[in-house]
């Protein structure tokens, strides 16, 4: 099962809009926080670090949801339910730098920790709904 | 189990900041969308309408999560995990009007549908984390 993000909402994937990512805790309850995202043409990509709550949740349970609100109009948004299809460290340092460029206008991610292992999560949209 | 929202983040509950509310679908996967909220001193209150996905999800499974990003600084936010403690139609029409006042500056909620039954969900915070 795979869903397409409508063309007229793709700007939300490229503009400086945060996503709110919901993952599932070990007890089945949800967790949600704002994250940086980008889009590789088919998947929404999130970048986190090994060992964090989101990392553990997505490794245990690949079912996630995202909502992306238009920073220029909060009543326009994209809501995606989907599945983490790939989790990889390959390219994750370059990816967090490219997200820092998108969101902060900086060439390198400025908050890197020495012991931190960055990870990319590729999320395949399964259900997409739009508002606005 | 109950957690307190730190005083220095309570402004996020009163200012015109959206919450992203995550609920659990019948299959255990998460769903997340932006919502209006307020705070009654102990509970975060959400207002939806009978029969919507969020309404059905919260009636089936009271475990929810919320994140509230500061519209003036997206790197400052409040993340709450908690439980729906009460679901009621009592006062729900007045409540959606007061949320319309908060978010739209209008005395009455302008999007009311004739057949719609408004509902208040009172969410007790069980875990609170803050950033920024």
What ipTM is given for this predicted complex?
0.96
Cβ burial of A98 (10 Å; 0-12, 13-18, 19+) is middle
Q: What are phi and psi of A28, to 5 degrees?
A: 90, -5
Give the residue, B113 or A88, on which the prediction is more confident: A88
Average pLDDT of the residues of chain A:
97
Q: What is the pTM of this model?
A: 0.97
The DSSP result for B72-93, as a single string, is TEEEEEEEEEEEEEEEE-TTHH
* A64·B30 Cβ contact <8 A: yes
Given a cut of 90, whether residue A2 has pLDDT beyond it is no
For chain B, give the mean pLDDT: 97
Measure the CA dihedral B39/B42/B44/B48, to 10°.
-90
Q: Does B29 touch chain A (CB under 8 A)?
A: yes
pLDDT at residue B1 is higher than 80: no
First to last CA, chain B: 25
B51 near A CB under 8 A: no
Q: pLDDT tens digit string along B5-53?
A: 999 999 999 999 999 999 999 999 999 999 999 999 999 999 999 999 9
B26 touches A at CB < 8 Å: no
Cα(A31)–Cα(B44) distance, rounded to whole angstroms?
A: 16
Binning chain B into helix, strand and coil, the percentages to the nearest 5 are 20, 45, 35
Judge contact between A119 and A87, C-beta under 8 A: yes
C-alpha to C-alpha distance for B80 and A18, rounded to whole angstroms = 18
Cα gap B20→B14, rounded to integer Å: 15
> Would the CB atoms of B29 and A67 count as touching at under 8 Å?
no
Residue with tokens 């997505």: A58
All domains of chain B in start order, with CATH: 7-131 (2.30.110.10)
DSSP reduced 3-state for A41: coil
């Amino acid at each position: 099962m795979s869903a397409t993000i409508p063309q007229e909402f793709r700007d939300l994937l490229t503009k400086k809009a945060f996503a709110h990512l919901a993952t599932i805790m070990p007890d089945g309850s949800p967790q949600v926080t704002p994250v940086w995202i980008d889009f590789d043409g088919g998947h929404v990509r999130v970048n986190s670090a090994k060992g964090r709550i989101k990392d553990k949740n997505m490794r245990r349970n690949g079912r996630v949801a995202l909502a992306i609100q238009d920073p220029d109009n909060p009543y326009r948004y994209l809501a995606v339910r989907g599945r983490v299809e790939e989790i990889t460290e390959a390219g994750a340092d370059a990816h967090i730098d490219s997200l820092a460029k998108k969101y902060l206008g900086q060439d390198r991610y400025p908050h890197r920790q020495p012991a931190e292992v960055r990870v990319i999560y590729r999320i395949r949209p399964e259900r997409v709904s739009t508002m606005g």
